[in-house]
Amino acid sequence: VALEGFELRVLRLPLVSPFTTSFGTETVREVIVVRAMTADGDGWGEIVTMPAPLYSSEYTRGAWDVALRWLVPALLDRGSLAPQEIAPALAPFVGHRMVKAGLELAVLDAALRSEGRALGEYLGAVRDRVPSGVSVGIQRDPGALVETVAGYLDDGYVRIKVKIKPGRDVGDTAAVRDAFGAIPLQVDANSAYTLADADLLAELDRFDLLLIEQPLQEDDLVDHATLARRLSTPVCLDESIVSVKAAADALALGAASVVNIKAGRVGGYLEAVAIHDLCRDAGIPVWCGGMLETGIGRAANAALAALPGFTLPGDVSASSRFYTRDIVTEPAVLEDGHVRVPTGHGLGIEIDPVALEDFTVARETLTR
Ligand code: OSB
Ligand code: MG
């Protein structure tokens, strides 16, 4: 596609309720929305950084700076690029994968719209809807957690993921298991533990969890392998899987028996497909993670999660899980515990221009 410019906006979308993890609490989703302007029309993407570098080293102000100072100019210098040429064009710049993913998605959307193709079909989707899991933040106490989970089960979510941290792990998990019996249940520690906590984490084995997600640090691959041998609960990696190379290393070491795939974390939807392919060949189940996406990234995640290797329900929830008002005209909804894979051209979404404007707090445009 012939690139004419990129418009970047910082949006602030209020959350329906605070979202607390082991690394912090969010009450507003601050996110960067990308509009790729091409000779064949616009495309939309989303840079899923958070305001502070707590989940990963990336953060919104840094993403904004590196996008406008380096990555967008590099793409505009090239002039015309196919979607699969975006990642190679940006490869000289180290890291900043969420920024690369957001820019690539915007160009992908523009290219596929102009070709009249849907993202799902392009990526290799084999389903028209995907099972929907929900990520539940740390609540005031285990009783409040049970109440919150009950609401999501009522909504129809088919899998519950509970956020844990030291002091809020075994008790919270026990409360949910005791209240709801044999529901599909997993936990996510967001790197809150060390190998010294192995005995404590082994106490979770009695809850028959689908998996424990990212108990240790991003670069603790060997320690994750050691922990995995100690636990009967399958170890799933999120933060550690930053590329197809990192995924291959993790599998070779025995550091993960399940992989969470997030396009933002790995530098784009095309890299995400490569990780899917690697894991599928290795017999490792994968599922689609989330970053509290707006309707833009949420549509793309549904398409990705429809690939054949995504054999576990993902964090692909309805827009209403996080937002009362989204920036797309038809936000993702929960139907019988599933989210539909969009079939319209590109991402299959239309931006609600009024909502987009209402949530915008900063804007910058670069043109050729
Ligand atoms: O670890 O999966 C995570 C949200 C922000 C940062 C990291 C994570 C999460 C979630 C929410 O768990 C997943 C979602 O978008 O539903
Ligand atoms: Mg996670």
Q: Does 289 contact ligand 1 (Cβ within 6 A)?
A: yes
**Nearest residue by C-alpha to atom 14 in ligand 1:** 290
Q: Does 305 contact ligand 1 (Cβ within 6 A)?
A: no
Task: Give the ligand at the shortest distance from the Cα of 291.
Answer: 1
For residues 74-85, give the mean pLDDT.
97
Distance (Å, whole) CA 309 – CA 317: 19
**Nearest residue by C-alpha to atom 8 in ligand 1:** 291
Distance (Å, whole) CA 106 – CA 102: 6
Above 0.95 for ipTM, yes or no? yes
Q: Where are the domains of the chain?
A: 3-116+349-367, 121-340
How far away, in angstroms, is 345 Cα from ligand 2 center?
30
pLDDT at 22 (0 to 100): 96
For residues 94-116, give the mean pLDDT.
98
Kindly give the number of the ligand 1 atom that is closest to the alpha carbon of 190. Answer: 1
Q: Which residue has the tokens 């969009």?
A: 342
Is 163 an annotated catalytic residue? yes
Residue 25 gets which letter from DSSP?
E
Residue 146 burial (CB < 10 Å; 0-12/13-18/19+)? middle
The closest of 56, 36, 61, 58 to 46, measured between CA atoms, is 36
pLDDT at 259 (0 to 100): 98
**C-alpha separations of 281 from 235, 243, 248, 275, 318 in Å:** 19, 16, 11, 10, 30
**Nearest residue by C-alpha to atom 4 in ligand 1:** 291
pLDDT band at 313, cuts 50/70/90? Answer: very high
Topology of domain 3-116+349-367 in CATH is: Enolase-like; domain 1 (3.30.390)
Q: 121-340 falls under which CATH superfamily?
A: Enolase-like C-terminal domain (3.20.20.120)
Q: Does 315 contact ligand 1 (Cβ within 6 A)?
A: yes
Is 161 an annotated catalytic residue? no
Q: Give me the DSSP letters along 134-183.
A: EEE---SSHHHHHHHHHHHHHHT-SEEEEE-BTTBSHHHHHHHHHHH-S-
For residues 334-339, give the mean pLDDT.
98
Report the helix count and the strand count for the chain, using DSSP H and E. Answer: 14, 13
For a mutational test of ligand 1's pocket, the pick from 98, 135, 152, 334, i.e. the residue with the most ligand atoms closer than 8 A to its C-beta, is: 135
Fold match, 3-116+349-367 / 121-340? no
For a mutational test of ligand 1's pocket, the pick from 20, 21, 322, i.e. the residue with the most ligand atoms closer than 8 A to its C-beta, is: 21
- Taking only the tens place, the pLDDT of each residue in 282-294 is 999 999 999 999 9
Catalytic residue among 100, 163, 165, 245: 163
Is the whole model's pTM more than 0.95, yes or no? yes
